[in-house]
Structure formats: C-alpha cells, structure tokens
Amino acid sequence: MDSATSDPRTPAEPRPASATRAPLGASADNGLKIVVVGGFGVGKTTMVRSVSEIRPLNTEETMTQAGESVDDTSEVRGKTATTVAFDFGRITLDARNVLYLFGAPGQERFWFLWDRLFSGTLGAVVLVDTRRIDDSWYAIDRLEKHGTPFIVACNDFGGPGFPPEQVREALDLDPHVPLVRCDARSRASSKLVLITLVEHIQARYADPSRATRQELV
C-alpha cells in the first residue's frame, strides 16, 4: 500500500482537482518538517498523497523480479511500485507557516537515508501495518535515538483489529506516545493523524520531563 497505484483497495476519498494547484503564498517564511516513516508497504506514499495540497513529489519505481531477492513482498502481493528515495508533500497552515511532509522509503536497503531525513524534523508519524508489526521496530528505535517526537498510526488494511494495549505491548511504546488508527487513503483521516502529532509535540515541549533523552548516533 506504499503506493496508491499498488493499493488494491478502493480509494476511500477522491482527491479534489483544485488541491493539486494551490500556490505557496509569498509571505510564508516558516517551514515545518514532518516525516512519515515505517516498514515496507505500510502506506507512507499513500498518506503523503492523500493529505498534500500540491501534487506530491514521488520517487517511485516499478518493482521487478530483480528485487524479489532483496525485498520481502510476501505480505504485499498487490504492490507494483516502491519508493526509492522519499516522497514530498506540502500543507499550508496559515499565511506564514507551511508544513513540509516527507515519506521515507521502507525497504531495509534504504534505511541509511533515514538519519538524513530526520535532521531538522519537528516530529514523525510511524505508520504501522499490524499484520507485520515487527517491521516498525527499527523506525521507533531510530526516532528514539534522535530524540524526535513521534506518534504511532495503525493503518487500516481491513480484517480483525488488535486492542490498543496489545499494539502498545508489541511495540514497547512509552505510555506518553499517542497511538491512533487511520486510513492512509483518506485525507480527513490523515489530517487527524497530523493534528495528533502536532498536539503531542506541543504537550511534549510544554512538559520537558516527557522529552526522550537524545543520544548521539
């Protein structure tokens, strides 16, 4: 589901045509960076596409047989394309503040890009497919080492869900880290995820005792 073109599900919400043509105001001078990270095929590209007010920049390539020996596609059979660098979208908050959204590549062979993407990041969304929850551990570990505020969003792929307490236990989440459910195809749902992240960041900096100790990496 990392790509809208490879998502076998019916789109939950159509993108308005005008949303891809919104110009950036000349008065905007404060750029805020958020990263969407997670395992292979969890829906990062789909989330960036659904919520961006501009036509997102994607670095997707068609998946070929040559990659089968490198990437585990056993749980994402419907996936036909994959991100090889990062996705980029934009949301205008007000006349002076703009949110820049980066979707990180999920394959292990591209993890070396993550530390650079995390540089200067206000916060992050860890997108999780609960059918493959182990794929999320590396993202959480790297964010904790960087001291980057983050929330966890469980993308809804259908089928039986898991109680929040089970997901928290499986991911060994700090009690202060918000855990939400979402549908990455839905603009409204993705916006709620970003709102939750911003509220978490505000609460974190209002109470420094909740901040994770930043480690050198």
Q: Coil, strand, or helix at residue 76?
A: coil
Which residues, listed in sequence order, are joined to residue 181 by a DSSP beta bridge?
Answer: 154
CB-count burial class (<10 Å; 0-12, 13-18, 19+) for 179: middle
Q: What is the largest CA-CA distance in the chain?
A: 50
Q: Which two tokens stand for residue 5?
A: 């073109």
pLDDT digits (tens, 9 = 90+) for 120-152: 889 999 999 998 899 899 889 989 988 999 999
- Residue 215 has a pLDDT of 37
pTM of the predicted model, to two decimals? 0.75
pLDDT at 202 over 60: yes
Task: State in Å, rounded, how far the first CA of the chain is from the last one.
Answer: 31
Contact 107, 40 (CB under 8 A): yes
Q: How far apart are CA 37 and CA 150, in angstroms?
A: 10
Inter-helix orientation angle 187-206/44-51, to 10°: 100
pLDDT at 182 over 50: yes
- Residue 4 has a pLDDT of 42
pLDDT digits (tens, 9 = 90+) for 9-59: 556 665 554 444 455 555 567 889 999 999 888 999 999 999 999 987 765
Mean pLDDT of 175-186: 95
Q: What are phi and psi of 103, to 5 degrees?
A: -100, 120
Mean pLDDT of 191-214: 80
- Exposure class string for 45-81: b at 16+ Cβ within 10 A, else e: bbbbbbbbbbebebebeebeeeeeeebeeeebeebeb
- Residue 26 has a pLDDT of 54
Q: How far apart are CA 136 and CA 96, in angstroms?
A: 34
Q: Coil, strand, or helix at residue 53?
A: coil
The sign of the dihedral angle between the CA atoms of 157, 190, 107, 115 is negative
Q: Which two tokens stand for residue 197?
A: 């992240």
- Residue 117 has a pLDDT of 76
Q: How far apart are CA 47 and CA 52, in angstroms?
A: 8
Mean pLDDT of the chain: 77
